[in-house]
Structure 1
């Protein structure tokens, strides 16, 4: 790799791309990127051109010899890549809006990666990621696949189970966000804070927190019970936790746990927002319109601060740190989605988990945590069952398997309601779910 690194970003027209480019610029001395290929589909061409032109201005301003290529030809881009990052959304934000609105009609939470919405995002996404894997096997068999596309845990599970790609890592900004917020809460530098993460994507717990090697978990749990310290992110309402519940839990929940531990409150909030300001997808569409207007400015050559409204804080840090650590064999510790390999005793060895790993040039080496604490184990295992069955449904296009996945999700109250939501969403997303409709239409 002495000639420099080739990185391909699929979903290159995303509003997040400037964040990624900024991360690569900051790390250029350690991560000498020669080529950055931004790939999108015809429907995303305008955004790709806007974002790509901004990326070129940012790199020119930094005075770096990185070539930026924009293309709609994925196979052209993938040839001889070293790293492939994925950050795409099948059906764009309009599909996400359906994922959020349709379940609400049945008094069920509608959310991008949880419940029925998470199932349908997985059903749309997994066939596409598996196609990308086939192209990679042929065109860049030694490349690392770094997946940011949600639902990241389910997508990583599908790649591990249904493709021949072994060099895959799923990534999320939730753990790094928790660590940064804990540092702020305790008024210490982030590098002093170490969190023992274990669980699944958007279902990860902090089992312990140490500052300079000393456990401060009890202090953090007390602080988290205060309204001003609700650990959350832009896309999840920061409803306050009951302090006694946190002390009983004995672990740090992530923002997404509110959907499971505060289901009724979160549903009521979603219904109210859908009727007033709009669902999160509709809010994001407005934010993105503003962002792309900014990106068009020929004088803009940095990542604009308004990007933080999009909810992707620390996205580039997570992605670029991972790529940097693999490339340079840094052997530092990062939480990622990878094959369990016995790290969490409560989850099958061949399943994807989100856990702290030592990052090496051979990839992530999961750090063993043993059994999950009994108070969190059951919920994590139930969501892993859901992810496994959902991934199977995505690959097979089998209606019964999809209904089973919908029903075993803890946010769905019954098989009857599951069937009603499933039928309506299968019809609404017909264009992006050919595996479910081909048998019917023959």
Structure 2
């Protein structure tokens, strides 16, 4: 019996991650057959460059797969089984504002953490909900797999405003870190072991890592982290820019405050905010690194492929970002019951935490969706940090829903990266001006 062939829509077709995702789909089509790949984006010119290059890649490697791209929702979202969403509302110009405005006030500037993450969240809510509605209108049986940041705020908004929709919110950072953990102890990749993890998106901890024979790997990994953080002594890994190497190394200090668990690197921005600001290049942030690095590389390579009419020697390759979302699509389609870390409603999985909080936990994924694995009670330190962060995220969604300046000021103030109400207000007022085209009117 032949396997089902799926139709995939990549929403955010002009993303710099799109070529790697296409290559992953082509490389994995034996286990996850694909009959059609579609792109959708509201930036026609940007998408066209990526799409024309990917069209050549597909025609050379898998000519049997249909390919099309569109800026029309009906055309894009019709006849689709899986929507892979990777939106960046405001693109890198707005990410630069998310990072640089907080830095002006000696607050962490980051795309998903602190005021920058909340600002980005308010830009993202409306477009994500719009995509869910397009999917439900034109392909009501499809799943939407959301990679769009900031995943925590987006997940809270989909829980609140589209509670019955077939949407799964995901993040590839745990996947990236697990692959690093595997490599530093001499294993092939993250699929060489099984993990237990809890927290919020970009705000969590591993409590157990065991190989498939049940051997505890935490001591070996902890030994490396105590010395090097999550930095590797190789060139492998997804992130190599200076800011990411610094973030990976910061896991060494995070391990000192919580030696029993292994921390997600993003906790650096909350627990080491002063040193993060002190050591940051406030004029040349992560956004600038990407504009001058990945952004330039991807569009130069796409243009070269188009001009030469071939992708036979392309340097585009699949990566952790592409691997994780493809694994998830495969699990949903073929009921593989794979264990994956997803962003889900708590509903008692963490016994001593808010039931309606959107948390990041291990789940078993099959054709009917996912089953969240119970974690039990979590320690006071982690619980307290998570409660403050979830309150900040919920207040931000309240602000979007109610058009409330006051709620967003409270959200900024509640965030652990911000030292005072007045600093929160100063950042908010600057954010308000640059986000005017994207945010709802706040009163």
Shared fold (TM-score, shorter chain, > 0.5): yes
Find the counterpart in structure 2 of residue 365 from structure 1.
Answer: 371
Shift of 1:240: 4.0
SS of alignment partner, residue 436 of structure 1: coil
Farther off after superposition, 377-386 or 324-333: 377-386
Find the counterpart in structure 1 of residue 277 from structure 2.
Answer: 267
Q: Contact between 1:334 and 1:356, CA under 8 Å: does it hold in 2?
A: yes
Q: Distance in 1 between matches of 2:317 and 2:335?
A: 31
The number of residue pairs the alignment matches comes to: 427
Q: Contact between 1:111 and 1:117, CA under 8 Å: does it hold in 2?
A: yes
SS of alignment partner, residue 89 of structure 2: coil
Q: Counterparts of 1:61-210 in structure 2 under 5 Å? A: 61-190=60-189, 191-210=191-210
Q: Contact between 2:135 and 2:142, CA under 8 Å: does it hold in 1?
A: yes
Shift of 1:149: 0.4
Q: Counterparts of 1:14-413 in structure 2 under 5 Å? A: 14-41=15-42, 44-190=43-189, 191-211=191-211, 212-227=213-228, 229-230=230-231, 233-234=239-240, 236=244, 237-238=246-247, 239-242=249-252, 245-246=255-256, 248-270=258-280, 273-275=281-283, 278-287=284-293, 288-298=295-305, 299=308, 301=311, 304-305=314-315, 313-413=319-419
Farther off after superposition, 417-426 or 130-139: 130-139
Deviation digits for residues 392-429 of structure 1 (CA, Å, limit 9, x no counterpart): 21222211111111110000111111111101101111
Shift of 1:305: 4.3
Pair 1:304–1:154, CA change in 2 (3 A): farther
SS of alignment partner, residue 30 of structure 1: coil
Pair 1:33–1:245, CA change in 2 (3 A): closer
Shift of 1:247: 7.2
Pair 1:131–1:240, CA change in 2 (3 A): closer
Q: Contact between 1:37 and 1:69, CA under 8 Å: does it hold in 2?
A: yes
Deviation digits for residues 205-233 of structure 1 (CA, Å, limit 9, x no counterpart): 11111123112223322220113644894
Farther off after superposition, 115-124 or 127-136: 127-136
Shift of 1:55: 1.5
Q: Distance in 1 between matches of 2:312 and 2:426?
A: 47
Shift of 1:303: 9.2
Q: Which runs of 4+ in 1 moved over 6 A?
A: none
Farther off after superposition, 25-34 or 120-129: 25-34
Q: Contact between 1:124 and 1:394, CA under 8 Å: does it hold in 2?
A: no
**CA RMSD of superposed structures (Å):** 2.3
Q: Distance in 1 between matches of 2:153 and 2:178?
A: 23
Specify every segment of 5 or more residues in structure 1 that has no aligned partner in the other structure, as ranges.
Answer: none
SS of alignment partner, residue 355 of structure 1: strand
Pair 1:63–1:240, CA change in 2 (3 A): closer
Pair 1:296–1:196, CA change in 2 (3 A): same
SS of alignment partner, residue 112 of structure 2: coil
Farther off after superposition, 405-414 or 182-191: 182-191
Q: Distance in 1 between matches of 2:315 and 2:335?
A: 32
Q: Contact between 1:16 and 1:307, CA under 8 Å: does it hold in 2?
A: no
Q: Distance in 2 between matches of 1:154 and 1:297?
A: 37
Q: Distance in 1 between matches of 2:57 and 2:106?
A: 46
Farther off after superposition, 403-412 or 156-165: 156-165
Q: Distance in 2 between matches of 1:33 and 1:253?
A: 36
Find the counterpart in structure 2 of residue 430 from structure 1.
Answer: 436
Pair 1:188–1:29, CA change in 2 (3 A): closer
Shift of 1:382: 1.6
Instruction: State TM-score, norm by structure 1.
Output: 0.91
